[in-house]
Structure 1
Amino acid sequence: MFEDGRVEVHPMVAEIFREPRPVQVDLDALLIGSGRGFIGANGLPMIVRAQGIRLQAVDGAQHAWLRTNLGHWVGLVTFTVPSQLGDLPCRSLLPAAAFRLTKPDDGSESGPSSPGAS
Protein backbone atom coordinates (compact mmCIF):
# COMPACT_ATOMS: atom_id res chain seq x y z
CA MET A 1 0.00 0.00 0.00
CA PHE A 2 2.72 2.50 0.96
CA GLU A 3 5.75 0.57 -0.28
CA ASP A 4 6.33 2.55 -3.48
CA GLY A 5 6.94 5.78 -1.53
CA ARG A 6 4.61 7.85 -3.74
CA VAL A 7 2.08 8.54 -1.02
CA GLU A 8 2.27 12.02 0.52
CA VAL A 9 0.12 12.43 3.61
CA HIS A 10 -0.17 15.17 6.19
CA PRO A 11 1.35 14.18 9.58
CA MET A 12 -1.99 14.93 11.26
CA VAL A 13 -3.58 12.14 9.19
CA ALA A 14 -0.95 9.38 9.07
CA GLU A 15 2.54 8.34 9.97
CA ILE A 16 4.02 5.81 7.56
CA PHE A 17 7.11 3.95 8.72
CA ARG A 18 10.01 3.44 6.29
CA GLU A 19 10.76 0.16 8.02
CA PRO A 20 7.91 -1.75 9.69
CA ARG A 21 8.08 -1.75 13.49
CA PRO A 22 8.01 -5.13 15.30
CA VAL A 23 4.87 -5.51 17.40
CA GLN A 24 3.02 -8.15 19.33
CA VAL A 25 -0.71 -8.49 18.63
CA ASP A 26 -2.94 -9.77 21.44
CA LEU A 27 -5.54 -11.82 19.54
CA ASP A 28 -7.41 -12.63 22.74
CA ALA A 29 -7.87 -8.94 23.61
CA LEU A 30 -8.66 -8.08 20.00
CA LEU A 31 -11.37 -10.70 19.49
CA ILE A 32 -12.73 -11.57 22.92
CA GLY A 33 -12.65 -7.92 23.94
CA SER A 34 -15.26 -7.26 21.27
CA GLY A 35 -17.96 -8.60 23.63
CA ARG A 36 -19.62 -10.88 21.10
CA GLY A 37 -20.64 -13.52 23.67
CA PHE A 38 -18.04 -16.23 23.20
CA ILE A 39 -18.64 -19.73 24.61
CA GLY A 40 -16.42 -21.00 27.41
CA ALA A 41 -13.88 -23.65 26.35
CA ASN A 42 -15.53 -26.33 28.52
CA GLY A 43 -18.72 -26.07 26.45
CA LEU A 44 -16.98 -26.76 23.13
CA PRO A 45 -16.34 -30.05 21.34
CA MET A 46 -12.72 -31.26 21.49
CA ILE A 47 -12.30 -30.85 17.70
CA VAL A 48 -13.06 -27.13 17.97
CA ARG A 49 -10.64 -26.71 20.87
CA ALA A 50 -7.93 -28.63 19.00
CA GLN A 51 -8.30 -27.09 15.54
CA GLY A 52 -9.79 -23.66 16.14
CA ILE A 53 -7.94 -20.39 15.72
CA ARG A 54 -5.47 -19.91 18.57
CA LEU A 55 -6.23 -16.77 20.56
CA GLN A 56 -2.75 -15.88 21.77
CA ALA A 57 -0.15 -13.17 21.39
CA VAL A 58 1.49 -13.26 17.94
CA ASP A 59 4.35 -11.33 16.37
CA GLY A 60 3.55 -8.80 13.69
CA ALA A 61 4.73 -5.64 11.97
CA GLN A 62 3.26 -2.14 12.16
CA HIS A 63 3.46 -0.27 8.85
CA ALA A 64 1.69 2.96 9.79
CA TRP A 65 -0.49 4.93 12.16
CA LEU A 66 -3.66 6.14 10.41
CA ARG A 67 -6.14 8.62 11.80
CA THR A 68 -9.86 8.12 11.42
CA ASN A 69 -12.26 10.92 10.53
CA LEU A 70 -13.35 10.87 14.20
CA GLY A 71 -9.78 11.55 15.37
CA HIS A 72 -8.86 8.06 16.61
CA TRP A 73 -5.48 6.54 15.69
CA VAL A 74 -5.34 2.95 14.38
CA GLY A 75 -2.31 0.92 13.41
CA LEU A 76 -1.89 -0.74 10.03
CA VAL A 77 -0.49 -4.09 11.15
CA THR A 78 0.40 -7.38 9.45
CA PHE A 79 0.41 -10.60 11.45
CA THR A 80 -0.36 -14.31 11.15
CA VAL A 81 -3.14 -16.07 13.06
CA PRO A 82 -2.10 -19.62 13.98
CA SER A 83 -4.45 -22.55 13.40
CA GLN A 84 -4.09 -26.32 13.08
CA LEU A 85 -5.63 -25.98 9.63
CA GLY A 86 -2.96 -23.51 8.50
CA ASP A 87 -1.78 -20.05 9.38
CA LEU A 88 -3.94 -17.13 8.27
CA PRO A 89 -2.02 -14.04 7.09
CA CYS A 90 -3.74 -10.79 8.08
CA ARG A 91 -3.30 -7.12 7.24
CA SER A 92 -5.61 -5.12 9.39
CA LEU A 93 -6.35 -1.81 11.07
CA LEU A 94 -6.06 -2.33 14.82
CA PRO A 95 -6.78 -0.10 17.81
CA ALA A 96 -3.68 0.78 19.81
CA ALA A 97 -4.86 -1.40 22.74
CA ALA A 98 -4.67 -4.55 20.58
CA PHE A 99 -0.91 -4.42 19.94
CA ARG A 100 2.34 -3.14 21.41
CA LEU A 101 5.91 -2.54 20.27
CA THR A 102 8.18 -5.49 21.04
CA LYS A 103 11.20 -3.23 21.41
CA PRO A 104 11.32 0.39 22.54
CA ASP A 105 10.95 3.01 19.83
CA ASP A 106 14.43 4.52 19.38
CA GLY A 107 13.01 7.78 18.05
CA SER A 108 14.58 7.29 14.61
CA GLU A 109 11.22 7.60 12.86
CA SER A 110 9.83 11.03 12.17
CA GLY A 111 6.48 12.04 13.59
CA PRO A 112 4.62 10.57 16.55
CA SER A 113 5.90 7.31 18.04
CA SER A 114 2.43 6.51 19.30
CA PRO A 115 -1.01 7.78 18.32
CA GLY A 116 -1.72 11.31 19.39
CA ALA A 117 1.86 12.06 20.38
CA SER A 118 2.02 15.07 18.11
Structure 2
Amino acid sequence: MGPFKDGWTKQDIEAAITRGLPDELAYVPILIGMDPPDCAWAEAICVTLARHPDADVRANAVLGLGHLARTCGRLDLSVAVPTIAAALQDADPHVRGQADAAADDLSQYLGVAVPQPIP
Protein backbone atom coordinates (compact mmCIF):
# COMPACT_ATOMS: atom_id res chain seq x y z
CA MET A 1 0.00 0.00 0.00
CA GLY A 2 1.42 3.34 -1.00
CA PRO A 3 5.15 3.48 -0.37
CA PHE A 4 5.13 0.14 1.48
CA LYS A 5 5.61 -3.17 -0.26
CA ASP A 6 3.84 -6.39 0.63
CA GLY A 7 5.63 -8.12 3.46
CA TRP A 8 6.47 -4.89 5.30
CA THR A 9 8.08 -5.27 8.71
CA LYS A 10 8.08 -3.40 12.00
CA GLN A 11 11.48 -2.09 10.98
CA ASP A 12 9.99 -0.65 7.77
CA ILE A 13 7.34 1.15 9.80
CA GLU A 14 9.83 2.42 12.37
CA ALA A 15 12.11 3.68 9.57
CA ALA A 16 9.17 5.60 8.06
CA ILE A 17 8.42 7.14 11.45
CA THR A 18 12.07 8.18 11.78
CA ARG A 19 11.99 9.78 8.30
CA GLY A 20 8.83 11.64 9.29
CA LEU A 21 7.53 12.30 5.77
CA PRO A 22 3.77 13.01 6.00
CA ASP A 23 3.03 11.40 2.62
CA GLU A 24 4.58 8.18 3.91
CA LEU A 25 3.33 8.45 7.51
CA ALA A 26 -0.28 8.72 6.35
CA TYR A 27 -0.12 5.05 5.28
CA VAL A 28 1.38 3.75 8.52
CA PRO A 29 -1.77 3.66 10.72
CA ILE A 30 -3.83 1.97 8.02
CA LEU A 31 -1.23 -0.74 7.41
CA ILE A 32 -0.63 -1.49 11.07
CA GLY A 33 -4.30 -1.19 11.97
CA MET A 34 -5.47 -3.69 9.38
CA ASP A 35 -2.69 -6.23 9.96
CA PRO A 36 -0.98 -5.53 13.28
CA PRO A 37 2.08 -7.63 14.09
CA ASP A 38 1.69 -6.48 17.71
CA CYS A 39 -1.50 -4.77 18.86
CA ALA A 40 0.04 -2.70 21.67
CA TRP A 41 2.85 -1.51 19.40
CA ALA A 42 0.37 -0.55 16.66
CA GLU A 43 -1.90 1.24 19.10
CA ALA A 44 0.99 3.27 20.54
CA ILE A 45 1.96 4.38 17.04
CA CYS A 46 -1.60 5.40 16.16
CA VAL A 47 -1.95 7.37 19.39
CA THR A 48 1.33 9.17 18.75
CA LEU A 49 0.47 9.94 15.12
CA ALA A 50 -2.96 11.24 16.18
CA ARG A 51 -1.07 14.31 17.47
CA HIS A 52 0.90 14.85 14.24
CA PRO A 53 0.82 18.34 12.66
CA ASP A 54 -0.36 16.94 9.30
CA ALA A 55 -4.14 16.47 9.12
CA ASP A 56 -3.99 13.41 6.84
CA VAL A 57 -1.64 11.68 9.27
CA ARG A 58 -3.91 12.54 12.21
CA ALA A 59 -7.00 11.39 10.33
CA ASN A 60 -5.53 8.03 9.43
CA ALA A 61 -4.11 7.59 12.93
CA VAL A 62 -7.54 7.78 14.56
CA LEU A 63 -8.99 5.58 11.81
CA GLY A 64 -6.17 3.13 12.59
CA LEU A 65 -7.46 2.94 16.16
CA GLY A 66 -10.84 1.93 14.78
CA HIS A 67 -9.20 -0.76 12.65
CA LEU A 68 -7.37 -2.04 15.73
CA ALA A 69 -10.66 -2.30 17.62
CA ARG A 70 -11.75 -4.73 14.92
CA THR A 71 -8.52 -6.63 14.25
CA CYS A 72 -7.30 -6.88 17.85
CA GLY A 73 -10.62 -6.88 19.68
CA ARG A 74 -9.15 -4.65 22.38
CA LEU A 75 -7.55 -1.27 22.98
CA ASP A 76 -6.22 0.59 25.97
CA LEU A 77 -9.46 2.48 26.39
CA SER A 78 -7.95 4.94 28.87
CA VAL A 79 -5.82 6.22 25.98
CA ALA A 80 -7.78 5.38 22.81
CA VAL A 81 -11.11 6.89 23.86
CA PRO A 82 -9.69 10.34 24.78
CA THR A 83 -7.59 10.30 21.61
CA ILE A 84 -10.63 9.71 19.42
CA ALA A 85 -12.77 12.15 21.45
CA ALA A 86 -10.14 14.86 20.92
CA ALA A 87 -10.05 14.11 17.19
CA LEU A 88 -13.83 14.58 17.03
CA GLN A 89 -13.09 18.22 17.85
CA ASP A 90 -10.15 18.66 15.47
CA ALA A 91 -10.12 21.79 13.32
CA ASP A 92 -9.85 19.67 10.16
CA PRO A 93 -13.11 18.13 8.88
CA HIS A 94 -11.32 15.05 7.49
CA VAL A 95 -9.87 14.28 10.91
CA ARG A 96 -13.31 14.71 12.49
CA GLY A 97 -14.85 12.39 9.90
CA GLN A 98 -12.27 9.66 10.47
CA ALA A 99 -12.69 10.08 14.24
CA ASP A 100 -16.42 9.57 13.81
CA ALA A 101 -15.73 6.34 11.90
CA ALA A 102 -13.31 5.20 14.62
CA ALA A 103 -15.90 5.97 17.31
CA ASP A 104 -18.38 3.80 15.41
CA ASP A 105 -15.80 0.99 15.29
CA LEU A 106 -15.24 1.17 19.05
CA SER A 107 -18.98 1.01 19.58
CA GLN A 108 -19.46 -1.92 17.20
CA TYR A 109 -16.43 -4.04 18.07
CA LEU A 110 -15.75 -3.15 21.71
CA GLY A 111 -19.14 -1.95 22.94
CA VAL A 112 -17.58 1.35 24.01
CA ALA A 113 -19.10 4.78 23.49
CA VAL A 114 -16.76 7.64 22.67
CA PRO A 115 -18.04 10.91 24.12
CA GLN A 116 -19.31 13.19 21.37
CA PRO A 117 -18.55 16.91 21.38
CA ILE A 118 -21.25 19.23 22.64
CA PRO A 119 -22.48 21.37 19.73
- Coarse TM-score class (shorter-chain normalised): under 0.3
Q: If each structure's strand is expressed as a fraction of its own residues, which one has the higher value?
A: 1
- Which protein, 1 or 2, shows the higher relative CO under an 8 Å CA cutoff with sep ≥ 6? 1
TM-score (norm 1): 0.24
TM-score (norm 2): 0.24
Q: Which of the pair has more CA radius of gyration?
A: 1
